[in-house]
Amino acid sequence: MKTISVHTQNPYDVLVERGILKRCGEYIRPLTKAGKCAVITDDNVDALYADSVTASLTENGFSVVKFVFPHGESSKNAQTLLDIYQFLCENEITRSDCLIALGGGVVGDITGFAAATFLRGMQYVQIPTTLLAQVDSSVGGKTAIDLPQGKNLVGAFKQPIVVLCDPDALSTLPELFLADGMGEVIKYGMIRDAQLFELLCGLDLTTVQAHFDEIIPTCIAIKRDVVENDPFDHGERMILNFGHTLGHAIEAYFHYETYTHGSAVAAGMCMMTKYNGTPEQYEKLCDCVKAYKLPASVDVPMEALVPLCSGDKKRAGGTLRYVVCEPTGNAQINSVTLQQFYDLFVK
Ligand code: MG
């Protein structure tokens, strides 16, 4: 088992091991006085893993209730949150009980936010079942729901008591979701770990899976290091946004329908490197993302994308900050005026 300890205000461990999902109760039991666990999940994950999670929790002395909502980003809203609160009230969940987020990023985000707010805050556990959630959204303590006006507009920083990552759970992931997570995995190599990037360059979407036991903890440790230095996202944490300035613009341009987050980030990383890196670095990165069935570019003129970047969260005052990796493994934050940013990409 690999253990990554996260030393935030409320420290916790991320445990990575094949089969840990079926034994989750053993690892949760010593961490809580809860009598009851409320498992929050979506209909896809429910069918695959809820029974084994429930069995392990029951074996370890918890009584278990379960709330299931329809899968997909469109469920990450205030109505689902109210439904969760209502379910917790009906089942007499107290502040000393524990929520279990079983699923991908949507489940983790909304369950984490419910845990941050219900009864002014209670314990929760993350059991991420997608690659993206394991390497990205389960570490860092960011929880949120979407509003009609935009994504992640209401949220809180709330750390789980433990994160249990089971690489075996990824074997049931459709290829599209695996590729989605690989966009973020490649990002970790680019920003902090040239060796990881080299490893990824020699693999593809099929062969990489045998290396998940190494790759997933490596990515989590990189995110941990960055988040520990900047828990409230004021500075260094921004390097995790490599590829995201253009990536978010791509997602928004296509109304979040055409590109998954990871594929938009992949294209964003390549486009950023095209304008800021060496030709060799650009070519290598493009080959790498294509090996994971991710796009190296999108068919949108930069004139249309660049204005969408300036509406992004990463804008501070009249300037825009974006991340470049020069050389590979060494991310840096560039701060430019909106005009300079425009000049860089649209000449
Ligand atoms: Mg991301």
CA of 261 to the centre of ligand 1 (A): 7
Residues 6+ apart with CB under 8 A from 143: 108, 109, 110, 111, 112, 113, 115, 116, 155, 156, 157, 158
Instruction: State mean pLDDT over 220-224.
Output: 96
| pLDDT score at 205 | 95
- Residues paired with residue 164 on neighbouring β-strands, in sequence order: 15
- 3-12, 145-154, 227-236: lowest mean pLDDT where? 227-236
| pLDDT score at 311 | 62
Does the structure show a pLDDT above 50 at 313?
A: no
- From residue 196, give the alpha-carbon distance in Å to each of 107, 208, 264: 28, 12, 21
| pLDDT score at 329 | 96
* Rounded CA separation 279/156 (Å): 41
**Interval 41-80: pLDDT, tens:** 999 999 999 999 999 999 999 999 999 999 999 999 999 9
Residue with tokens 């524990």: 98
CA of 132 to the centre of ligand 1 (A): 8
CA of 238 to the centre of ligand 1 (A): 11
Residue with tokens 């809580």: 32
pTM confidence score: 0.93
Does the structure show a pLDDT above 60 at 117?
A: yes
**Interval 147-196: pLDDT, tens:** 998 889 999 999 999 999 999 999 999 999 999 999 999 999 999 999 99
**Interval 75-87: pLDDT, tens:** 999 999 999 999 9
CA of 136 to the centre of ligand 1 (A): 7
